[in-house]
């Protein structure tokens, strides 16, 4: 009996030790994995918020850069930019043109606002009280135009921002620093409107030293910085720059409210993002108590261990199963983190490439455009072409685009009058971007009066694939009938560079253009392997593949 009791006691002690060790290990692993997952989720959220803010600030800079010596009294300054600012899809609440008016310009500005059809053309302060005649001795900032024009926004033009402490401080800083500036959080549209921030970009005419006005965009704070879903591991709050210790939080309906951070627990982590020339601090609060959850898991493991101490085989079987389960969870989470890092790197690479292409388009279009109106139309069209191909690539998860899809009417002028023929092939993302700009350049320079008769296509675009794999060759031919070198509108300098050098080099091929007796012809020849680019497609498919746990 003594020996049996000793053996039972030894087994019980061994079981207790093993159970305690397993519980300790599970506790540490669960706690570490939860912290890693929370930190990674916070980093991803902060990165996405920063990308979103960068896009919005870029929109303000591009919009202000498209102005050339504006007339501050013109209440339709945003009309030429309407298609461009909506193409960015940045979900702004209101875009506005704020003119800096001299006292002797107020009467003319009021008449211009009235002529534009706005219901309250009087020049007035921010509380809607008209200025007394002769009471002004210095320039004031007046809202002259806005987008979108709705029943709620039409009454805003004519207001001066000089008496509003938040907006006047923002415009004063933008005027002094001569760069885009963001405001403090402020109610938008009305006193009880949604809380948001405004970014203002100064418009400085050529040769001037002071801004003629400002392009402003306002965004709701909830969708701009405080977005998170029910499945996220954290809730996010923005430190209120207006109150020491205050925080701004959004509820499930997107309504932003203020709370004092000192009244609750400290955030699990903080991240800083930049927007409008200032830093914004985001506080992240974990929705679950990782330590408590790890303790609960450890208690469960210990209880199971104590319950099966009398069964040595069962004990070892449990330990083996538990270790295998934990190992699989670690592998899945580590694999997910690596895949997520790869996806983010790939996304950053593609975004940088797209921004570089847009920067090149803007620079070359404005550099070679002798007529600013023509250059602006070409610039907007080229950006639309890029936007169309990016939308198509996003729908296909960047795995290629059907070549015929690049001839959509929203990106190609006169697309409904072009006869398109050729095999149904999908081109790679890189080839799609080059071909989209190429098709736009060809279509935008065709002479509508001579090349198009009625609704019958007198422009043909066809392609063929010849040879056997892997030596297949892609042939593209564009032909405009009923035109000649004397009647056809000449290609722009940027268009010539794109047709003769950029597009062929991007596809590793050659191109030529010439006139026949009755038509203008452009031909492009390239290896099929560069047009399809299976290497890029395989890489994209590999990154988008789901993460699966390793088999034991």
Q: Are residues 298 and 360 in the same domain?
A: no
Q: Are residues 513 and 374 in the same domain?
A: yes
Q: Are 186 and 196 in contact (CB under 8 A)?
A: yes
Which of 310, 336, 353 lies at the terminal end of a domain, its last residue?
310
Which of 310, 334, 358 lies at the terminal end of a domain, its last residue?
310
**Widest Cα–Cα separation across the chain:** 116
Q: Are residues 170 and 304 in the same domain?
A: yes
Q: Are 123 and 106 in contact (CB under 8 A)?
A: yes
CA atoms within 13 A on the CB side of 344: 15
- The pLDDT assigned to 329 comes to 77
Which of 285, 310, 335 lies at the terminal end of a domain, its last residue?
310
Q: Are residues 389 and 272 in the same domain?
A: no
CATH code at 519? 3.30.565.10
Q: Are residues 300 and 387 in the same domain?
A: no
Q: Of 322, 78, 300, 317, whose CA–CA distance to 203 is shortest?
A: 78
Q: Are residues 292 and 348 in the same domain?
A: no
Q: Are residues 51 and 161 in the same domain?
A: yes
Q: Is residue 545 part of a domain?
A: no
Q: Are residues 145 and 37 in the same domain?
A: yes
Overall number of domains in the chain: 2
DSSP string of 175-236, one letter each residue: HHHTS-EEPPPEE-SSTTS-EEEEEEEEE--TT-SS-SEEEEEEEEHHHHT----TTSSEEE
Q: Are residues 401 and 268 in the same domain?
A: no
Q: Is residue 318 part of a domain?
A: no
Q: Is residue 225 part of a domain?
A: yes
Torsion angle of C-alpha atoms 324, 326, 332, 336, degrees rounded to 10? -160
- The pLDDT assigned to 71 comes to 59
391 phi-psi bin (left φ>0, alpha ψ -120 to 50, beta other):
alpha
The boundaries of the domain holding residue 456 are: 344-537
517 phi, psi to nearest 5 deg: -65, -25
Q: Are residues 189 and 81 in the same domain?
A: yes
Q: Model-level pTM greater than 0.75?
A: no
CATH code at 80? 3.30.450.350
Per-residue pLDDT of the chain (552 residues; tens, 9 = 90+): 566 577 777 777 787 788 788 778 877 887 888 888 888 989 999 999 999 899 888 888 887 776 655 555 666 667 767 776 677 667 888 988 898 888 888 888 888 888 888 888 888 888 888 887 677 788 999 998 888 888 888 889 989 988 889 999 999 999 999 999 999 999 998 888 899 999 999 988 877 888 888 999 999 998 888 877 777 888 899 998 988 888 999 887 888 888 887 677 888 899 999 999 999 999 998 888 777 777 777 788 778 877 787 665 455 444 445 665 677 778 777 776 776 665 566 566 566 666 666 666 666 666 655 567 666 766 777 777 777 777 767 776 666 788 888 887 566 777 777 889 999 888 887 788 888 888 888 887 775 444 444 444 588 999 999 988 788 999 999 998 888 887 777 777 777 887 888 888 888 899 999 999 888 899 999 998 888 876 666 566 555 555 555 454
């Amino acid at each position: 009996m003594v020996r049996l009791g000793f053996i039972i006691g030894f087994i019980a002690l061994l079981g207790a030790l093993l159970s305690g060790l397993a519980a300790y290990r599970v506790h540490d692993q669960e706690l570490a994995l939860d912290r890693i997952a929370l930190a990674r989720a916070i980093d991803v959220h902060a990165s996405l918020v920063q990308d979103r803010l960068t896009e919005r600030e870029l929109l303000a800079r591009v919009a202000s850069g498209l102005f050339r010596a504006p007339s501050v009294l013109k209440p339709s300054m945003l009309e030429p930019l309407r298609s461009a600012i909506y193409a960015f899809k940045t979900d702004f609440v209101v875009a506005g043109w704020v003119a800096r008016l001299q006292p002797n310009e107020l009467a003319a500005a009021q008449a211009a606002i009235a002529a534009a059809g706005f219901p309250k053309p009087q020049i007035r302060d921010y509380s809607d009280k008209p200025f007394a005649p002769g009471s002004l001795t210095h320039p004031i900032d007046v809202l002259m135009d806005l987008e979108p024009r709705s029943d709620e926004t039409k009454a805003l033009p004519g207001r001066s921002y000089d008496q509003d402490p938040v907006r006047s401080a923002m415009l004063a800083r933008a005027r002094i620093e001569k760069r885009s500036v963001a405001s403090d959080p402020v109610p938008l549209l009305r006193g009880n409107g949604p809380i948001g921030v405004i970014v203002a970009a100064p418009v400085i005419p050529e040769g001037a030293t002071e801004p003629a006005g400002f392009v402003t965009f306002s965004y709701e704070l909830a969708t701009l910085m405080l977005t998170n879903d029910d499945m996220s591991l954290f809730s996010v709050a923005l430190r209120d720059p207006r109150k020491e210790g205050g925080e701004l939080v959004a509820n499930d309906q997107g309504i932003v409210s203020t709370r004092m951070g000192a009244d609750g627990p400290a955030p699990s982590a903080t991240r800083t993002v930049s927007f409008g020339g200032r830093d914004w601090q985001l506080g992240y609060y974990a929705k679950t108590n990782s330590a408590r959850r790890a303790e609960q898991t450890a208690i469960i493991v210990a209880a199971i261990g104590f319950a099966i101490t009398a069964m040595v085989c069962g004990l070892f079987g449990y330990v083996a199963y538990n270790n295998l389960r934990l190992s699989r969870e670690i592998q899945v989470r580590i694999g997910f983190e690596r895949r997520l890092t790869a996806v983010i790197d790939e996304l950053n690479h593609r975004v940088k490439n797209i921004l570089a292409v847009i920067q090149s388009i803007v620079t070359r279009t404005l550099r070679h455009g002798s007529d600013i109106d023509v250059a602006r139309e070409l610039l907007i069209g080229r950006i639309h072409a890029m936007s169309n191909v990016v939308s198509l690539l996003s729908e296909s998860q960047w795995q290629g685009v059907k070549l015929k899809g690049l001839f959509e009417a929203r990106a190609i002028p006169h697309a409904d009058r072009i006869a398109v023929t050729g095999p149904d092939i999908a081109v790679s993302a890189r080839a799609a971007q080059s071909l989209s700009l190429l098709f736009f350049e060809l279509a935008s320079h065709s002479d509508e009066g001579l090349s198009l008769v009625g609704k019958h296509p007198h422009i043909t675009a066809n392609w063929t694939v010849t040879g056997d794999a892997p030596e297949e060759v892609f042939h593209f031919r564009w032909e405009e009938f009923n035109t000649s070198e004397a009647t056809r509108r000449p290609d722009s300098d940027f268009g010539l560079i794109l047709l003769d050098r950029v597009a062929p080099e991007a596809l590793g091929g050659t191109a030529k253009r010439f006139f026949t007796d009755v038509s203008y012809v452009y031909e492009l020849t390239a290896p099929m392997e560069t047009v399809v680019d299976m290497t890029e497609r395989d890489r994209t498919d590999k990154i988008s593949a789901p993460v699966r746990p390793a088999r034991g």
